[in-house]
Amino acid sequence: MPLYEHVYLARQDASAQQVEELTAQLKGVIEGLGGSVKKTEYWGVKSLSYRLRKNRKAHFTLMDVDAPPPAINEIERLERLNEDVLRYLTIRVDAHEEGPSAMMRRTERDRDREDRRGERGDRGDRFDRGDRPRDRDRRPREGADDSDLPMED
């Protein structure tokens, strides 16, 4: 059977539990039509590049599917009918990726980056500025004219 990667975006108003139920429903349809779901990953709520049906964020879910084409057609038909699904994309692949997907690896990398940032402090990338006078602390030079001074009311 062909292998697919299927990603769908659900409305931000839907709860995580509703998204899990939708994933379970789609998984049941695939298994009922002779296919199998190898892996599911919930990527969480992420910001969208542009608004989709008045939504700025969406729940992202990935499913690695091993199923016949009619099963894929049926889950796409169900997603078109479901008001909670904003977008979906199914891609046929030669082999499923082992381990976590690139999106999940990215979140691990971000956590590592935050840990390193905490080690050097909030402003660790900035150099020491020392004791420099500010503009408001500066006084006019001794040989300056009155025209150089700011006007006072």
Assess if residue 7 is contained within a domain. Answer: yes
For residue 106, is it within any domain?
no
CATH of the domain at 33: 3.30.70.60
The domain tally of the chain equals 1
Does residue 111 fall inside a structural domain?
Answer: no
Share of the chain above pLDDT 90, in %: 53
Identify which has the larger pLDDT, 150 or 79: 79
Question: Sign of torsion, CA 144 148 150 153?
Answer: positive
Task: Please provide the average confidence, as pLDDT, over all residues in the chain.
Answer: 82
Q: Which residue has the higher pLDDT, 47 or 135?
A: 47
In which domain, by residue range, is 92 found? 3-96
**In which element (H, E) is residue 119 found?**
helix 102-120
Residue 91 Cα to chain centre, angstroms: 20
* Predicted confidence (pLDDT) at residue 152 exceeds the cutoff of 70: no
Instruction: Specify the pLDDT at position 89.
Output: 95
Residue 114 covered by a domain: no
